[in-house]
């Protein structure tokens, strides 16, 4: 009976997306680019390679749910050796910082 009542309950409305003004959209795009560039620079310093190598190794995040693990695997293949545990942990931490910064920027863009 409870299962039947739950099946008939209305679904929550999807969260409405804010429509950004042109200046807000430009701000968001610039900040996203800055955050991504900083992440690439961090990873290049952690691994000791050029930022261009990191960019080539980065998967298309829109298509992959766990992009950081794919990035680590691609870097290891490119380098021909596994990354150290410290390097892997530092890349994962940098990715978490990047994701949090992207969320903050998206939320802040609406307020600009």
Q: What is the per-residue pLDDT across 14-38, written as a single tens digit (0 to 9) for each?
A: 445 678 899 989 999 999 999 999 9
C-alpha distances (whole Å) from 106 to each of 4, 32, 56, 81 are 39, 9, 26, 37
Mean pLDDT in the chain? 85
CB-based contacts of 35-41 (< 8 A; 24+ apart in sequence): 35/98, 35/101, 35/102, 35/105, 36/98, 38/98, 39/94, 39/95, 39/97, 39/98
pLDDT in tens, 52-80: 999 999 887 666 567 899 999 999 999 99
Q: What is the pLDDT of residues 81-108, one digit of tens each?
A: 999 999 999 999 999 999 999 999 988 8
Contact status, residue 68 vs residue 91, Cβ threshold 8 Å: yes
Place of tokens 């050029």: 50
pLDDT, position 109: 83
What residue spans define the domains of the chain? 20-111
* CA–CA dist 91, 39 (Å, integer): 9
Specify the pLDDT at position 63. 61
């Amino acid at each position: 009976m409870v299962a039947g009542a739950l099946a008939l309950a209305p679904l929550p409305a999807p969260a409405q997306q804010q429509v950004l003004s042109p200046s807000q959209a430009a701000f968001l795009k610039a900040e996203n680019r800055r955050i991504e560039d900083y992440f690439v620079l961090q990873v290049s310093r952690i691994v000791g390679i050029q930022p261009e190598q990191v960019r080539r190794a980065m998967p298309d995040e829109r298509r992959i749910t766990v992009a950081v693990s794919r990035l680590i695997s691609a870097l290891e293949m490119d380098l021909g050796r596994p990354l150290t545990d410290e390097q892997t942990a530092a890349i994962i931490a940098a990715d978490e910082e990047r994701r949090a910064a992207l969320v903050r920027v998206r939320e802040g863009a609406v307020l600009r």
